[in-house]
Amino acid sequence: MASEETFVIVGASLAGATAVQVLREEGFTGRLVLLGAEPNRPYERPPLSKGLLQGTSAREDVFVHPSDWYAWNDVDLRLGTTVTSIDRAAKTVTCDDGQTVGYDRLLLATGSEPRRLRLPGADRDQVVYLRQLEDCDRLRIAFGESSRVAIIGAGWIGLEVAAAARARGLEVTVLETADLPLLRVLGPEVAQVFADLHRAHGVHLLTGVQVAVLTEEGVELVDGTTVPADLIVVGVGIAPVVTLAADAGLAVSDGVDVDEHLRTADPAVFAAGDVANALHPTLGRRLRVEHWENARRQGALAARSMLGQDVVFDRLPYFFSDQYELGMEYVGYVAPGASDRVVFRGDVARHEFIAFWLGGGRVLAAMTVNRWDLVGDLEALIVSAREVDPARLSDPAIGLSEV
Q: Tens digit of pLDDT for each residue in 210-229?
A: 999 999 999 999 999 999 99
**What average pLDDT does range 75-90 have in this prediction?**
98
337 — pLDDT class (breaks 50, 70, 90): confident
Judge whether residue 2 has pLDDT over 70. Answer: no
pLDDT in the model for residue 54: 87
Q: Tens digit of pLDDT for each residue in 197-206?
A: 999 999 999 9
Domain 6-113+238-306: give its CATH code: 3.50.50.60
116-234 matches 6-113+238-306 in CATH topology: yes
Closest to 278 measured CA to CA, from 302, 300, 246: 302
What gap in Å lies between CA 28 and CA 7, rounded to an integer? 9
Burial class of residue 336 (count of CB atoms within 10 Å of its CB; 0-12, 13-18, 19+) = exposed
**What average pLDDT does range 106-134 have in this prediction?**
95
Under a CB-based contact definition with an 8 Å cutoff, are residues 117 and 152 in contact?
yes
Q: Tens digit of pLDDT for each residue in 229-244?
A: 999 999 999 999 999 9
Average pLDDT score, the chain: 95
What gap in Å lies between CA 3 and CA 299, rounded to an integer? 21
193 — pLDDT class (breaks 50, 70, 90): very high
Q: Tens digit of pLDDT for each residue in 231-288?
A: 999 999 999 999 999 999 999 999 999 999 999 999 999 999 999 999 999 898 999 9
From the CA atom positions of the chain, what is the Rg in Å?
22
What gap in Å lies between CA 298 and CA 320, rounded to an integer? 17
Closest to 93 measured CA to CA, from 33, 42, 41: 33
pLDDT in the model for residue 361: 94
What gap in Å lies between CA 383 and CA 332, rounded to an integer? 9
Closest to 393 measured CA to CA, from 341, 351, 339: 341
pLDDT in the model for residue 1: 44
Under a CB-based contact definition with an 8 Å cutoff, are residues 273 and 15 in contact?
yes
What are the φ/ψ torsions at residue 372 (nearest 5 degrees)? -120, 165
SS3 372: coil
3 — pLDDT class (breaks 50, 70, 90): low
What are the φ/ψ torsions at residue 285 (nearest 5 degrees)? -160, 165
Contacts of 345 (CB under 8 A, 6+ apart): 353, 354, 355, 356, 393, 394, 395, 396
CATH architecture of the region 325-402: 2-Layer Sandwich (3.30)
What gap in Å lies between CA 348 and CA 324, rounded to an integer? 16
57 — pLDDT class (breaks 50, 70, 90): confident
Instruction: Give the residue extent of every domain in the chain.
Output: 6-113+238-306, 116-234, 325-402
Under a CB-based contact definition with an 8 Å cutoff, are residues 367 and 382 in contact?
no
Closest to 7 measured CA to CA, from 382, 375, 272: 272
Q: Tens digit of pLDDT for each residue in 298-320?
A: 999 999 999 999 999 999 999 99
Is domain 116-234 classified as CATH 3.50.50.60? yes
Q: For residue 50, give the DSSP letter.
A: T
**What average pLDDT does range 72-87 have in this prediction?**
98
The answer for 113, left when phi > 0, alpha when psi is -120 to 50, beta otherwise, is beta
